[in-house]
Chains A and B, each alone.
Chain A
Amino acid sequence: MRISPRAGERIVKVLIWAAAMLVMAVLVFIVAYILAKGLHVIDWRFLASAPSNMGRSGGISTTIIGTLMVTVTAVVIAAPLGIGTAFYLAEYTRENFVTKIIRFSAESLAGIPSIVYGLFGLIFFVVYLDMRWSVLSGGLTLALMILPTVIRTSEEAIKAVPYIYREVSFSLGATKWQTIIKAVFPSALRGIANGILLSVGRCIAETAAVILTAGSTLRMPTSLFSPTRTMAVHFYILAREGISMENAYGTAALLIILIFLINVVANTLINRFVAKSR
């Protein structure tokens, strides 16, 4: 039996639509389920007070601070390194043996499971460099983990800037550095920022790499050298050890909200910046 082209077209359309809807539905279900289970736990007390009794009671303030400290450390280290590498690859060198090695390394690093980063961080930062379990060890480990993403997305963003901008800039007597800062960077900024945002999300959500390098203490971190427990780790421990499913869902809900908020705020800032420089 033959299907008419029209009917075939309709069937394909319905199938594609169904696939998209299914993906949406799964996402919505996960988020809605966690919010439904966890949202009612979240109040000012939950946000502002320290956990007590292993996290069975009290809030999660120390883990929020720990998450932010570890994430900020990771991004502050990885962003300049990654963006710098991307500019080197895209603007300062031609395809050669070295760039191939850098790219190959970055791609290989991107495929390594996070627990391996955790193990490396434990051996290298925590033990060998004697940084102990600390915000710094965790941040450095996460920095390594997100570096390939930052490099990749930044390089793509830089390469997407029309070549003519560089020519125009040089023709006006700009140096290479001025060309990069004034003609290329502003146009690549949105793409670079998106890559970093993606990385921030991964840092906040990371468990395996952090639990091995930043520790899991519930005490409030006071410096880069304090051990800490991040929200994702807290959630993992609460759920795995059966300490409090209620608080575990509360933490998970807050994680989702936090990532959502960061995305909204960052996008607003980028939009404002881009609009200003236009």
Chain B
Amino acid sequence: MQRLALSISILAASAAQAQERVVIDVLNWGGAFGEAQMEAMGRPFAAATGIHVKMVDADSPPAVLQAQVEAGNVTADLASVGFPDATRLCEEGLVLPIDPASIAPAPDGTPAAEDFLPNGLGECFVATDIYSMIVGWDRRAFPAGQGPKTLADFFDTEAFPGRRSAPRDPQFMLEMALIADGVPLDQVYDALGTDAGFERALAKLDTIREDVVWWEAGAQPAQLLADGEVSMALAYNGRIFDAAVNDGMPFEIIWDGQVYEIEGWVIPMGAPDEAAARDFVAFSTAPEPLARLAEEISYGPPRRSSAALVGTYRDGKTEMTPHLPTSEANMARALEVDTEFWADLGPQTKERFSGWLAR
């Protein structure tokens, strides 16, 4: 009996402790990205509020979030998703609205709604970073001074022979094919929405088809470049940066024709600790933590006021600004992924693209 009383009191004590120690679960893409968010946002938040952040790795956070909400068993308090997915989840009532007024204004007093880049704030979404699909190339594969310079060069197999790698995914791929084919940036999605434009993109892809090594996982293109399997690759800019700076690989990035997507937080409907999640969203999307995130991983901050706050990478010597998709020079010819296009025509486009691949 005494023992029972003892174990009950231990249980009660640990329950009380669990109540004190609030932990929010954050669905995340994992890897270096999750670690960077932990370093720039999670640990400072824990230090400031005592609320701990646990990063939960997922291959596809929006899919996991949808499964949790539909099953009525939500364990995540927050999830990191792209803007198109955030919009879709919001329209389907799977995530909670977030009041833009709860987000900190810029240091000069500009309200958050004006400080964020377009689409940085949605009805249910607050941006944390901007990543982009770029051309990465290997200096060893070309004579000095004769490397590719534009996106069009990636599709030019005569001037730049050799194999290249590209994502096995129509998103980014089709847009870039049209940009390389000379479609003005503001007409890319209008063109893709028509049969003629779609066929034009596929025709452009046909020209490099024999030379392409398709990749599936984000880590593959940097590996293919490092192995000398390909001389250029369409890749996420953070992966090429990581290989170049951390592993000392002789890789260069072509920012011309980059296609970027905004990524940020959504709060699942039925999040176990909604209040703490809202606190974390407000904390982590202030200008300062966003700048810290851009120092940890080379994805651009989505707030104008953060840009000036970005310093050096964690090696202490690499200035981050030139490596961010959002810096002015890199934005000269850039296209944002069109949420509505991919929500509307995404499934059909993916099927047609798969059909083309298999032909």
A binds B: no
Residues of B within 8 A of A (CB): none
